[in-house]
Structures are given as structure tokens and as C-alpha cells.
Homo-oligomer: A and B are copies of this chain.
Amino acid sequence: MGKIKENSTNNINKQYIYECDLSYAVCKIGGRWKLFILSRLKDDKLRFSELKRAISGITERMLTLQLKELEKEGLIKRTVYAEVPPRVDYELTDIARELIPIWDALNTWGGKHRKFIEQQEQSEE
């Protein structure tokens, strides 16, 4: 049982009581944009601007913040090339890759749940 006080873009991250590894895990990947970012990096190594374009609606600020957190948490690897203009790219780490089957499963569940709810709403009318 511990409290996390570091700055974070994720409200779930703060003052969260880690009684179990489950909530700990959700802290790491929960949040407004993290799953988007991670799933975009599933197959490719992408640059900052590519990520920005790939994730519609995200601001540079948010992308920066979330990337920084993900890096600190060991989920992505940031590579800076000594070039002009500057070039940075991001890729998943091994431990992040282990999450892929999980979010695939969540994805499947999400689709199923969605259909289920839609049917239910129709039959109510």
C-alpha cells in the first residue's frame, strides 16, 4: 500500500493505493492517450511527428508528456539521432510487448461488449 506522488498526466497514477499489481498495471497503461500511443507502436518504430499525425486529436504537449512517462516507466525506448534537423524515434520495449496479447484480448472483449450493449438498447425501445 503506497502512494504515488510524482507528476503524471494520469489521475489514476496519483495517490493511488497499490494494493494489488492489477491496479498498478492499470496505472501504467491507463490514461487519456497511453494505449493509443502504445498500440500505434505495436508494429512500427515511429518519430514524434509521425505519432502526432497517427493519433488524431492529440496535442504536442500531451504527446510529449505521455511519451516521457511511458519512457520513464520502461514501456518505450526513445532514440535520438545526432542529425539536423533533429530526429527522435520511439519503439516498444520488451516488457511492453508482453502487453500486446492483453490488449488484443481487451480489444476483442470491447467489441463484444459493445455489440451486447447495442443489442440491449435496441430491445429496450
Contact = CB atoms under 8 A, between A and B. Distances in A.
A13 to B, nearest CB: 11
Majority secondary structure of chain A interface residues (helix, strand, loop or mixed): helix
Contacts of A19: 36, 56
Contacts of A56: 1, 17, 19
Interface of A: 1, 11-12, 17, 19-26, 28-32, 35-36, 39, 56-57, 73-74, 95, 98-99, 101-103, 105-114, 116-117, 120
B101 A113 contact: no
B74 A116 contact: yes
Contacts of A32: 11-12
A25 B110 contact: yes
